[in-house]
Every structure is written in structure tokens, then in C-alpha cells.
A and B are shown apart, each in its own frame.
Chain A
């Protein structure tokens, strides 16, 4: 037995010895680990919620489709707005990979609920001529009523975007409901749901191209063209669109991919994340101070235990390891509880929001790592103090 003497405790013995103080004073251990738990929970929840909401947004974008491209008016070299040629939609639809082409044309007309509203009270709404399959190509549908059709596109009939309907105070469709566009009454036949991929449609009052030409003397040029194509060939189509839409001035055409902008926005971290992460860090710090405090008291109270252990043959290193391990164990327990709480909060919120539950590795591993690191730092000084105590000093009973 003597020959087999080893000065190192087995890991299982270190764990057992480290847990002695915690097992004996459960309440105190729980309370001092609480701060760490709260800090870690806050951090894990913030990162988890942000990742889950991002996953939710990306799923939503996927659902809307990433194969929509928009072609809109650009500017000429001299800085004027360059009109899109009337035949642009037709040209674009001849591209192989293109599956649908729709367009709108801004008429510049103003719209009012009734004639008594002063003209200066412009409501920021635009009146646009539209082709007849617009809703499907911008991934929206009708909230109420119906869209324009062959019969109504040449008549004074309008469909409202979601925002336009709200601003005009119209939430239902009934016979005879009308709005005033450039002194001409238009009958409202439908209201659209919000179009996440084309928010400009939300602000619009949509009428047919023939009606726009007839009642508003609109020239019939499209101002925005919505192009759907095979998802795998979106980039190829993207490259060809400008030249196809306006062969004479490809540089005067703006082509964009709305889903890309949405993805970028989804990826952007909310400024609130930083704030909550900061609060979590503060809670962790306070938790660390709590652990340090507990360890200092523990060392003072357990003087005779330290003396006894030295008499039983513990080296300074053994004593130091014991108290350091106790601090690390305490804060990692806090960390584990914190990770579970944070993950639970994420899971509940994501489930309510119908998002995928995502707890990034960085969040839980980072939270746990931070807890362990804080425990080590908090326990270091008390552990060194315990190890420095002379055996006789520790054994002395006052």
C-alpha cells in the first residue's frame, strides 16, 4: 500500500471531496449558484431566441420564395428617371428560365376617401396600374373581395394594398364602396394581404392598365416588373434582366432580389441582443461575486476540516484543489441550470411563435464555459488562502 502511494487524488475523489461542502450546505449552495444561473439563462435565452427568430424568418422567406427578381426604373446619366420600355415585360417573359412576369406602373395620381379631404392631406399612397396576376408573383393573396380581371381592368375599379386599406380606413368590401382617384370615383373590389417580398405593393391602390390610361391618362409604361424564374437559374436570369428590359440602356435599369434583402435583415442582430447580453454578463459577474463570497465563508468555517485534512496527509495542493474544485462545481451547477432555463425559455417562445427551436452551440457551450471560468476565478483566492493555512493554525481551537 505504501509503495502504491500516489500524491494525486483520483478524479472521482476530487469530485467527492469538492462536493462535500455543497452537499452539506445545500441551501447556501443553491442560493449562491442562483446568480450564475440567472446570468447564464439570460445569455442562452437571448442567443437562443435570436437564433430561433432568425430560423423562423428564413423559413418564412423560403416559403415566400427566393426566386423573385424585380426590375425597376433607374436613372439616366443626366440624373433623370429612366422609363422602362412598354415592351419590357414581353421581352423578359421570353427568357427561358422565367416562369412569370407581372408589372405595375406608378401613375402619380393621388387617392382620397372622399372629396372633402383637403388635397394637402396626402396619405403617402400611390396609385398603380397593375397586370392581372400580381398577387401570386409577389406571394400574397386577397384578404377580402377579389382581384382585377379582364372585365374590371378597364373599368374604374380598384384593389387596395394592405397598408393602403388601413390608411383609407377600409376594412370591408361592400357594393358601392368607392374612393376618389384624381377626381374620378373608383369602386373598391378587393383588399390584399401584406406582401413581404414587395412592401411597395402594400402602399398601393391598384387599378388596371386600361383603366389607368383611360381615366388617368397614364402612358402605360411599367415602373416595376416582377419576375419569377426557376430557382436554380435565378442568378443567370438576374444577369440578363437589365439588358433584356432595356436593350438601349441596360445601365438605366435597377434589378434586385427582394428575398436577399430580407435574408440580410434576418441575419442582422438586434441591438436589443447586445443589451440583454450585457445584462446577462452583469448577472454572471454578480453571481461570480456570490460564489467567491460563499467560498471565503466556507474556508473560514471549515478551518478545522482543513487542519484535519492536512493531518490526514493532504498537501497544500490537495487543499487548494478541493476548494477550487468546489467553486467550479458550484458555478457549473449554476451554469447547467442556467442553460436549461435559457433553453426552456427559448423552446417555449419559439413554439408559441411557431419557429424552429434553435439553441446555438455558442450559447450553451459559451454559457457553461463562462460559468466554469467564473467559478475558477472566484474560487482561486479562497482556495489559495485555505492552502496557505498552517496545519497547526487550522487545528487550533480558540
Chain B
């Protein structure tokens, strides 16, 4: 598959599998982040890139390179020390805490390495809570949650609680929660970091499927093998972007990344 790789020097020529008109969704300009302290840590040293609607992007880099910091900037969970982050045209820096919360509630979905599911609630409740702060009533939240669970292949697990699910299934619940309400963008921070390779492959296959269905997804990983299979790859090192690669032929079927729920459930046995 490496024969189709091409380096995109100009940031923002991401091609969607569906040949939509590229609409810039997320724009980072010279983003810098310094964590103050006795010895201040410079986590980001000027990051520029643009994500268009419908893209599936991997952000790759070694531990401590600033990937999570970057995700926090993109997800408006934290503000950059310098530079600007624009989400669907509006500058995050100019928004109040309340407006940012609203933005996260309606436009951004998060997936974390630790899943962060409530052990005491069913998969359906967990997914429904993804819309808790978006002003949708409970019945609608649950109805949408059922749809989202169906999308990640867990329709039959709706009434299970996380402890009854495998790691891969739990992460799929978390992905369903992020997808619930159709956010503009899904940000996943090392979603496969706690999973074995089979489950990880399933998660990536799922992300590709969701991407084909139109979702915009940014996934952080340090698994270069998995990252190489995604349409675009941004390499981060020491707070800087060292490569931004857009690969062609994203529409081709990758035999190892076809969605095969059975592979994931086998892991439980």
C-alpha cells in the first residue's frame, strides 16, 4: 500500500473518500503551549495545520512529544499560550468558558485511552450521556444512543454494563458516545493504548468505517503500523510537526482493516 503514498507539502489538501468540497473545519496557526512551573515545559513549539470536513487523520509521535496537549488545544479543553485555534471559523481564544463548553457539547466528540465509562450504567446510558449537556431531552438522547451503538456494532450490548464488556467493546461504547449527536469532529487520544492488537485493529477498522460514512476523525496513536493505514498522518516530535502526509487510495479495501466484530469478541474468551 505504500506505493500510493504521496507527501502533501501544502497543508490542507486532504482528500476525502467522498470527494466533498473541502471545508476547513479546524485550523491551527502557530500554536504554542507552555506549561508554567518551576521549570516551564514547552509542550508545543508552533504547530500549523488544517483539518477539513470528512478527513480521517492520525497524529503520531513518541510519548511526551505533545500529542495530548495538541488534542486538548483542538478540543478546546485548554487554550494555547500563543497562536490561534479556529473551529468552524470561530477563534477559540475569543470564546468564553461557557461558549467553549457549548462547542464541546455540540460539535466535538472525545474518545480517551481510559474509556472513562461509568461502570454502574448500561452501555446505552453511557452513550446517551454524551448528549447530556447538549440540551436534548432524555428520550431523544437514548434514541440517538441506540443508533450510535448500532453504528459501532454493539446494538446487542445496549443493556450491558462496562464490566461485562471486553476492552475493545468498551472503547466502542466510548466511540459511540463521542459520535452521539453527530459532532463535527471526533478527537481520539490513544484509543487503542489499552487494547491488544486484535482489538486495536478492530477499533481502527471502525474508525475507517465511520470515516467512510462521513465522520471527521482525528486519532492520536503511537502505533505507526496502524497510523500508516489512515488517509492522512501528522508526525509530531518534540512539540513540532515533522511530517504531514496524505496517502492516496484510501478507498481501497484493506483486508486487515475490514470491520470484523467477531475478531474483537474472540478476545473475551
Contact = CB atoms under 8 A, between A and B. Distances in A.
Given A23-B120, A397-B114, A6 B77 contact: no
A17 B129 CA distance: 10
Interface residues of A, number: 33
Interface residues of B, number: 31
Interface string B16-56: 00000000000000000000000000000000000000000
Interface in A300-340: 304-305, 307-318
A9 interface: yes
Contacts of A1: 106, 134-136, 181
Contact of B138 (A5, A12, A305): A12
A24 interface: yes
Contacts of B118: 20, 24, 305
Nearest to A21: B120
Contacts of A17: 132
A312 B130 contact: yes
A164 to B, nearest CB: 73
B72 to A, nearest CB: 5
B120 A5 contact: no
B136 A4 contact: yes
B116 A392 contact: no
B75 interface: yes
A243 interface: no
Nearest to A10: B137
A350 to B, nearest CB: 42
B106 A391 contact: no
A2 interface: yes
Interface in A5-20: 5-7, 9-10, 12-13, 17, 20
Contacts of B113: 397
Interface string B78-113: 100000000000000000011001111110001011
B150 to A, nearest CB: 19
B72 A310 contact: no
A321 B105 CA distance: 17
Between B105, B106, B137, B138, the greatest number of chain A beta carbons within 10 A of the residue's beta carbon is seen for B105
B98 A315 contact: yes
Contacts of B133: 7, 9, 309, 312-315, 318
Contacts of B119: 24
Contacts of B136: 1, 4
A312 B136 CA distance: 13
Interface in A355-397: 390-392, 395, 397
A23 B161 CA distance: 15
Nearest to B35: A392
B260 to A, nearest CB: 29
B78 A2 contact: no
Contacts of B181: 1
Between A1, A23, A305, the greatest number of chain B beta carbons within 10 A of the residue's beta carbon is seen for A1
A24 B102 CA distance: 28
Contacts of A20: 118, 120
A311 B134 contact: no
Contacts of A317: 98
B120 A315 contact: no
Contacts of A315: 97-98, 101-102, 133
B132 A312 contact: yes
A1 B105 CA distance: 11
Interface in B138-187: 138, 177, 181
A370 B22 CA distance: 60
29 contacts: A1-B136, A4-B135, A5-B102, A5-B105, A5-B135, A7-B101, A7-B133, A9-B132, A10-B137, A13-B138, A20-B120, A305-B116, A308-B110, A308-B112, A309-B133, A310-B77, A310-B101, A310-B104, A311-B77, A312-B133, A313-B101, A313-B103, A313-B104, A314-B105, A315-B98, A318-B101, A391-B77, A391-B78, A395-B77
Given A13-B132, A318-B101, A395-B77, 7 more contacts: A4-B136, A13-B138, A304-B116, A305-B116, A312-B105, A312-B130, A314-B105
Interface of A: 1-2, 4-7, 9-10, 12-13, 17, 20, 23-24, 304-305, 307-318, 390-392, 395, 397
